[in-house]
Amino acid sequence: MRSHERTARRYAKALYDVAREAGATDAVGQEMEQVAAVCAGDAGAHDVLTRPWIKPADRRGVAVAIARKIGVRKLVQDFVGLVAERGRADHLPEIVGAYRTLVDAELGRARAQVRTAVALTDAEKRQLSGKLEHALGKRVILEEQVDAALLGGFVAQVGSLIFDGSLDGQLARMRQRLARG
């Protein structure tokens, strides 16, 4: 798993360097996310791109065709083709994640994974982003995920920083306090 991530970081760094020269790091990141989402959602495409007995040239052709169909730029098409040709198509989610980290670092922004009991309203998202940006000193992009297992409130995580504003967290803390006596 560790080598998987290392490989993904290597590919992401190569793509990032080329995209930065082209001055389109953010846009390339968004297009990579689209391609990765399509590949993950289409089982047939995923099978073709990850089967080792399919010729590398064929895998490349399929990957480029998918990317072209999505309408991403040439750089992304070529990169996806290269990844498929090298038999690394199953690394795409990690590559996209690593690329996003590089771009976020370049643009001085952070991503906050927010687990909520009910979907946040736009106003709440704005408020939460504002508070987190104020606390972290950098721009924050919220990635919301509704989790029905939560009782209420939300849990936000930015890197290693975790803010637990959920009822579950409060109850867990209360449980610990009471159990300690």
Partner 1 sequence: MIRVLAIAALLLGMVPSAALAAEGGGGLINLDKSIAIQAINFLLLLLILGKLLYRPLLAKMEERTQAIRKSLDEAQAARAEAQRERAEHAAKLETAYAEAQAIRATALKEAAEEQRRLVEGARAEAGRLVESARNEMAQEVTRARQELRREVVDLAITAAERLIRKSLREEDHRRIVQDAIGRVDKVN
Task: Report the alpha-carbon distance of residue 168 to residue 152 in Å, rounded.
Answer: 7
* 22, 105, 146, 167: which one binds partner 1 (CB under 8 A): 167
Instruction: Name the residue nearer to partner 1 (CB basis): 105 or 161.
Output: 161
Q: Hey, which residues does 80 pair with through a beta bridge?
A: none
Give yes or no for a contact between 28 and 75, defined as CB atoms under 8 angstroms apart. yes
* 4, 6, 74, 131: which one binds partner 1 (CB under 8 A): 131
Give yes or no for a contact between 144 and 125, defined as CB atoms under 8 angstroms apart. yes
Instruction: Name the residue nearer to partner 1 (CB basis): 56 or 152.
Output: 152
* 57, 105, 146, 171: which one binds partner 1 (CB under 8 A): 171
3-state secondary structure of 116: strand
Part of the chain binding partner 1 (CB under 8 A), chosen from 35-43, 54-62, 80-88, 110-118: 110-118
* R_g of the chain computed on alpha carbons: 20
Task: Report the alpha-carbon distance of residue 156 to residue 159 in Å, rounded.
Answer: 10
Residue 79 Cβ vs partner 1, minimum distance, rounded to whole Å: 38
Instruction: Name the residue nearer to partner 1 (CB basis): 3 or 176.
Output: 176
Task: Report the alpha-carbon distance of residue 146 to residue 25 in Å, rounded.
Answer: 29
3-state secondary structure of 60: helix
Instruction: Name the residue nearer to partner 1 (CB basis): 30 or 145.
Output: 145
Binding residues for partner 1 (CB under 8 A):
116-118, 120-121, 124, 127-128, 131-132, 134-135, 151-154, 156, 161, 163, 165-167, 171, 174-175, 178-179, 181
